Amino acid sequence: MSDEPKAEVLFRISDGEGGDHIETLRASRVGPDLYKLDNSPFFAYGVSWGDTVFAPVDPEERMPAFQSVVSRSGNRTVRVVFDPPVSPGNPSDQTLQGLVALGCSYEGATPRYVSVNIPPGVELQDVRSYLAARGPQWEHADPTCEPLIPSEM
């Protein structure tokens, strides 16, 4: 068990309409205003499990608020929406178990919505190809799709 103090780090995610959504991620304090993320993001982009982030205490929220990534863990994150919801033995569960067989781990927000952690030893392209072949709705969260898929101008 770690002796590092536990905390939650606040992430503000733009709703695209001038407002914000809030997500808090569990973390371990590893230095002044530095936190190592202890779970995968369900809504935040550009961070993954194990990343160390700079998050000074926000005076209004009275908790650490994400400012930047200080060091990357090497993990990557994709998020998957399953239809039908994951249930033992169904096609969605089979897809999820296939991701585990590739070397990934996951956290479920709901039986439909899952954050998948891709560790450093697993090829992102293998996971992308697998998900594309299986057909669930999914998105890049870290890295986001912009650096992976150049825009055509």
pLDDT digits (tens, 9 = 90+) for 118-131: 999 999 999 999 99
Output the pLDDT for position 107: 96
Listed residues 71, 96, 128: the one ending a domain: 71
Containing 128, the helix (H) or strand (E) segment is helix 124-134
Q: Is the pLDDT of residue 99 over 70?
A: yes
Could you tell me the CATH number of the domain that includes residue 97? 3.30.70
- 137 with 84, same domain? yes
- 130 with 67, same domain? no
Per-residue pLDDT averaged across 7-33, rounded?
A: 92
Tell me which residue range forms the domain holding 130: 76-148
Per the DSSP assignment, residues forming a β-bridge with 79 are 115, 139
Q: Is the pLDDT of residue 151 over 80?
A: no
Q: Domain count of the chain?
A: 2
Listed residues 43, 71, 99: the one ending a domain: 71
Residue 116 lies in a domain: yes
Q: Is the pLDDT of residue 152 over 60?
A: no
- 54 with 98, same domain? no
Residue 1 lies in a domain: no
pLDDT category at 75 given cuts 50, 70, 90 is very high
- 86 with 132, same domain? yes
Q: Cα separation of 114 and 79, whole Å?
A: 6
Residue 153 lies in a domain: no
Listed residues 46, 71, 96: the one ending a domain: 71
Residue 114 lies in a domain: yes
Q: Cα separation of 6 and 17, whole Å?
A: 33
Q: What is the pTM of this model?
A: 0.89
Q: Is the pLDDT of residue 153 over 70?
A: no
Q: Beta strands 34-37 and 63-64: pairing type?
A: unpaired
Per-residue pLDDT averaged across 129-148, rounded?
A: 87
- 144 with 80, same domain? yes
